[in-house]
Amino acid sequence: MRINLEDTLFCLVDVQEKLFPHIGNKDELERTLPILVKGIKTLDIPIIVNEQYKKGIGETIPVLKELVSEYTAYEKTTFSGCQTGEILEAFRKSGKKNIIVAGIETHVCVLQTCIDLIENDFNVILVTNCCGSRTKLDHKMAIKRLIQSGVIPTTYESILFELTVDAKNPNFKAISSLIK
């Protein structure tokens, strides 16, 4: 399946201050997530931000919060964003059929959000190198389960170039410079 720009939305899941320091691949995520988000913004793809129980886990980490500050951050207590009515409604109202997902933790909130998105007839694209868990095994097993459930796995570089389509795209140079 070709993922096209016009039918695509991005969902950032729970990359929050008090949880992030405990994520096993946090150093990689500190590098990859901002690249992905900047690329998504360059391509003018709408963004939905989820935050799990802000009182306990805090807000989106500063480096990402700054990048997504113009978008609504939906607070939830359910692990799946789709189990919170206003978030599911935001996905539906977007009119998009492809949802790119990245965030933490892969085996809890990311997994449950992705499964519920699939059950709500969305195509889900998981940016595997922009997701993380506290342990490698949890991350690895979640990705395996998600692929078996119908999620399309990708990397930030692959999805950004797929959405750009052509080196003649006016955004190609900006995307290319993010990747370097």
The answer to whether the peptide bond before residue 30 is cis (omega within 30 degrees of 0) is no
Rounded CA-CA distance 125/140 in Å is: 16
What pairs with residue 127 in β-bridges?
154
Supply the pLDDT for residue 53. 95
| Range of the structural domain that residue 20 is part of | 5-179
pTM comes to 0.97
What values do phi and psi take at 15, rounded to 5? Answer: -90, 80
Q: Say which DSSP state 22 is in.
A: G
Supply the pLDDT for residue 87. 97
Supply the pLDDT for residue 180. 84
For Cα atoms 122, 124, 125, give the angle at the middle one, nearest 5 degrees: 150
- What is the CATH classification number for the domain harbouring 146? 3.40.50.850
The rounded average pLDDT for each run of 10 residues, N- to C-terminus, in the chain (180 residues) is 95 97 97 98 98 96 96 96 96 98 98 98 98 98 98 98 96 94
What values do phi and psi take at 70, rounded to 5? Answer: -80, -5
The tally of domains found in the chain comes to: 1
